[in-house]
Each structure stands twice: as structure tokens, then as C-alpha cells.
Amino acid sequence: MAATEPATGGSTEYINHHLHHLQVSVGDGAFMTLNVDTLFFTFVLGLLFVVSFILCARRATAGVPGKFQAFVEIIVGFVDGLVRETFHGRSKLIAPLSLTIFVLVFLMNFMDMVPVDLLPWAWAQGYELAGHDPAHAYLRAVPTADLNTTFGMSIGVFLLIQVFGISHKGLGGFTKEIFTAPFHAESTPMKILLAPANLLLRVIEEGVRPLSLSLRLFGNMYAGELIFILIALMTLGASLADVSTYVMGVAQFVSGFAWTAFHVLIITLQAFIFMMLTIVYLSMAAESH
């Protein structure tokens, strides 16, 4: 967790450098900016998940399983049990989707366990060897600490909610529910009168879901990453000749170890919450109110 970069710009510069993405502008006039580091680590972790699970499935045995197969079977059984208890509709997609969300979000969160200076330092070394200024070698390794990632996943869940609602209730039933729930009425005039209120509540309800999903995950992971950076600041620019360096080094080790142990629970819990809320939202979309 120790800070290995020189204190050329002080604590503020160090923090800003670690919170700056490796970006590429696309189109004339910077029409769009891509966070290349987020895309890269998301792709690599997604590929790691797919390849490892495919290999496990192909090498699976009916007898005594190996350690990795047993680990995968525990995860699959755990997720499948949650889906059976929570989702009351019929879908072959929901279990694989839930498993993908849980494992992928966990892997992206787990990147926060990598020492905060390790990957940025390695990237800066390669950047300098390529003839560029290492001060501009930006890299962030936690995809879920990027709001674009969490919001993009929540938008995907939002679209799935609408698809599940239409597929289970039909377009007519789905549309009717928008204007008749939660306030029900028997007479036609009352249905017409309550329709605007029902529509407004439905819009609010649907809009809150992607916001809550994305901001909860992003907030927890961004805060966790920031705390690791603040812990690294304890020995930023330290000198071996200074006695306080050793005192702060011990404090840094203890605080870093404690936060790492606690953060393991956070990254697992956040992956679980994102998965469970997705299952609950899709179950609600499939049920008739």
C-alpha cells in the first residue's frame, strides 16, 4: 500500500493523479471521451471470467471435484438457490445473468485489493520507456469506481426489466399496468382520473432503480479506492533518515491491513447487493401487481 511515486506535486497532485483516467477523445471537438483503462480492465476481467468458467465446465468430473471445480460449484449453487427463492417467473436467462453479474462485479471490485501504486507505477515505467512524460501516465484499475461502468450496467438492468415485463405480461398488459398501478379503480372514469398519477409514480419508480443501482456500487468502490490512496499518503515522499518515516510506516501497514480485511467484505457485499436487486427487480417485472 505504500506510496512509491515521488512527491513532485504534493498530496493534492498525488490524489488527482490517481483519480484521473487514461482517456482518449473520439470525434471532432471531443465528441466523446473514452476511459481506456476502465474498458481495458473490464474486458480483461470479463474474458477471465468466461474462459475460467468454460474451462471448468469442460473439465468437470462426476467424481470428486478439484478445488477450482468445487469453488465454482459452490458459487453456482449459491446463486441458483437465490434465484429459485426470489424469482417467481419463468426464464432460462435469469440464473446465468445473476451468476455473470455477481462474479463479474466481484472481480471488478477485487481490483481494489491490488496495491494502489503497483499498476500505475508499472504503467508509468512503460510510458517513460516509450518516450513520454510519466507524469501524464494515468491509470485507474477499478472499473466499478468509474460511474460510467456502474451506470452502464444499471441501464442494462433497466432495459431487461422492460423486456421481462413485456414478455411475461404482453405489450397490452404491460401498458395497462403503467396506468393502473399502484392506484386501482373499478370504474372507468376513476381509472382515467388516476392514470396520470399512476404514470408519474411509474416513471419515478423506474428512474430510481438504475440510479440506486449505479450510485450505490460506485459510491462504495470510489470511497474504498480513495481511502487506499489516503493510506498511501502516510509515507509519500518519506525519507529513510527520518524517524517519523518508520512510525508512519507501521501505522500505514496496520491501517492498510485493517482496511483491506474490511474492504473484502465490502466488495463481496456490493456484488451480492447488485445481483440481488437485479433479481428482485426482474421478479417484480414478471409478476402481475
Query: What is the model's pLDDT at position 8?
Result: 44
**What DSSP state is assigned to residue 140?**
-
With 60 as the cut, is the pLDDT of residue 2 above it?
no
Decide if 209 is inside a domain.
Answer: yes
Q: Which of 116-120, 148-152, 283-287 has the lowest mean pLDDT?
A: 283-287
Domain hosting residue 234, numbered range: 10-286
Coil, helix or strand for 71?
A: helix
pTM: 0.89
Query: What is the model's pLDDT at position 62?
Result: 81
Between vectors from CA 279 to CA 273 and to CA 281, what angle results, nearest 5°? 100
In whole numbers, what is the pLDDT of the chain averaged over residues?
Answer: 89
All three cell numbers of 110: 477485487
With 70 as the cut, is the pLDDT of residue 140 above it?
yes
Decide if 42 is inside a domain.
Answer: yes
Decide if 3 is inside a domain.
Answer: no
**What DSSP state is assigned to residue 76?**
H
Query: What is the model's pLDDT at position 183?
Result: 83
Query: What is the model's pLDDT at position 1?
Result: 42
Decide if 254 is inside a domain.
Answer: yes
Place of cell 481506456: 36
Query: What is the model's pLDDT at position 214?
Result: 95
Sign of CA dihedral 263, 9, 146, 124: negative
Query: What is the model's pLDDT at position 3?
Result: 46
> How many other CB atoms are found less than 10 A from the CB of residue 199?
13
Decide if 179 is inside a domain.
Answer: yes
Q: Which of 5-19, 78-92, 131-145, 158-172 has the lowest mean pLDDT?
A: 5-19
Q: How confident is the model at residue 99 (pLDDT cuts 50, 70, 90)?
A: very high
Distance CA 228, CA 18 (A): 11
Q: How confident is the model at residue 29 (pLDDT cuts 50, 70, 90)?
A: low
pLDDT tens digit string along 201-224?
Answer: 999 999 999 999 999 999 999 999
With 80 as the cut, is the pLDDT of residue 27 above it?
no
Query: What is the model's pLDDT at position 259?
Result: 95
Look up 84 and say whether it is catalytic: no
Active-site pick, 220, 239, 255, 283: 220
Q: How confident is the model at residue 191 (pLDDT cuts 50, 70, 90)?
A: confident
pLDDT tens digit string along 31-72?
Answer: 788 999 999 999 999 999 999 999 999 988 888 888 999 999
- 221 near 145, Cβ under 8 Å? yes
Number of domains into which the chain is organized: 1
Distance CA 158, CA 203 (A): 12
Active-site pick, 167, 216, 255, 283: 216
Tell me the average pLDDT across 2-24: 74
Rounded to a whole number of angstroms, the CA Rg of the chain reads 24
Active-site pick, 16, 25, 212, 244: 212
Look up 212 and say whether it is catalytic: yes
What count of residues does the chain have?
A: 289
Look up 220 and say whether it is catalytic: yes
Q: How confident is the model at residue 4 (pLDDT cuts 50, 70, 90)?
A: very low
Decide if 2 is inside a domain.
Answer: no
Q: How confident is the model at residue 257 (pLDDT cuts 50, 70, 90)?
A: very high
Decide if 244 is inside a domain.
Answer: yes
With 60 as the cut, is the pLDDT of residue 174 above it?
yes
Tell me the average pLDDT across 5-34: 78
